[in-house]
Amino acid sequence: NIFMIEKKKTELYQELGLQARDLRFQHVMSIATRNNRIIMRMEFLKAVITPEFLLILDYRNLSLEHWLLNELASQLAGEGQLVTYSLPFEFRAIEAILQYWISKLQGRLNTLQPQILETLEALVDPKLLSVDRSKLHILLQNGKSLSELETDLKVFKETILEILDEEEVIEELCLSKWTDPQVFEESTSGIDHAEEMELLLENYYRQAEDLLNEARELRVLIDDSESIIFINLDSHRNVMMRLNLQLTMGTFSVSLFGLIGVAFGMNLESSLEEDPRIFWLMTGIMFLGSGLIWRRLLSFLGRHLDPPLPPHVPAVLKKSQPAAGRVEIKTGLKGETFGLSRSTLTNQ
């Protein structure tokens, strides 16, 4: 049965046997027990669990109506992820809240993952000479959202891990074990509620860990893609710089032999300008000399900018041979080396 009540905070914590600070809204994540009550804070979701009912505080301001009306009733009836229908009410309530929160985190990850992959696929295209700034802005926003999701997953894991490390806290979470004598007798006869509670919390701890691993893989993919983007930009930048250098060398070569034309363009009296073949001869010398110098400069550029060839590996070292064969090869090489040194000394 799901119903809504409106009460003052003072009346509420007096009826529950709690203190005012227990109902204070804090955007933190914690699971604590006080006066046979379980107080669960999941950031904006705050709940108080007793052996008889589950109290969700201020649900109207948190858009929880869909979950409360459509999913919570079936989960409290024992239709949750784990088989908890044979266990007391507080087990089903804790599972319902943890299931809701892990579903919220899973939904955030499912929303971010395709957006990040689509953006990275568009950015890591080697054919692009420039990077789209709009895509980078989207990637930056998604990266911030992914960081927030990683933080929430880590806090969720640490909250559950703190409870798993404390056996007394796990015992205190089993409210019906201490309030209902019949439940206590059943627990002593074979059903250990503390172990069931530990398995329940451990299940959601593993789910949070799996989600955190997926988020970390996305983070690594973003970092690797950023490196690829920088490499592509550096490659295109180097191509443009090399082209600019080649054009500069070509301009230098043409300008160098253009001095001949400048010299003949002066109003100097000589007998060379009277011959009509001198113009074509000087023009040919200028273009030929400029081409030769440009070619020499390009070869010089290639020798100093192109990566060196890898060292040659002898074929003997590439083949895998037995140990005895390797020993024979080494001894033969040593003998030849010693013989070469003796002959060299004799010749000298």
CATH number of domain containing 184: 1.20.58.340
- Residue 10 covered by a domain: no
Tokens of 87: 């266990």
**How many other CB atoms are found less than 10 A from the CB of residue 166?**
11
pTM above 0.85, yes or no: no
Q: Is the pLDDT of residue 133 over 50?
A: yes
Residue 145's domain comprises 65-237
| 340 part of a folded domain | no
pLDDT tier for residue 345 given thresholds of 50, 70 and 90: very low
Residue 70 falls inside a structural domain: yes
Q: What are phi and psi of 55, to 5 degrees?
A: -110, 115
In a domain, 199, yes or no: yes
186 pLDDT band, cuts 50/70/90, is low
pLDDT tens digits, one per residue of 260-317: 667 666 665 666 667 777 777 777 877 787 778 777 777 776 665 555 555 555 554 4
Is 13 inside a domain boundary? no
pLDDT score, position 235: 74
**What would the pLDDT profile of 73-107 be if each residue is shown by its tens digit?**
877 876 655 554 467 888 888 988 999 999 999 99
Residue 77 CB burial class (10 angstroms; 0-12, 13-18, ≥19): exposed
Render pLDDT for 329-344 as a digit per residue (tens, 0 to 9): 344 444 433 344 433 3
Whole-number pLDDT of residue 206 = 94
Total domains in the fold of the chain: 1
**The predicted structure's pLDDT at residue 3:** 80
Q: How confident is the model at residue 152 (pLDDT cuts 50, 70, 90)?
A: very high
Choose the weakest-confidence range: 44-53, 122-131, 213-222, 224-233: 122-131
CA distance 196 to 191: 8
Strand order in the sheet with 54-56: 29-34, 37-42, 45-49, 54-56
Is residue 93 a part of any domain in this protein?
yes
Residue 307 in domain: no
Say if 182 falls within a structural domain: yes
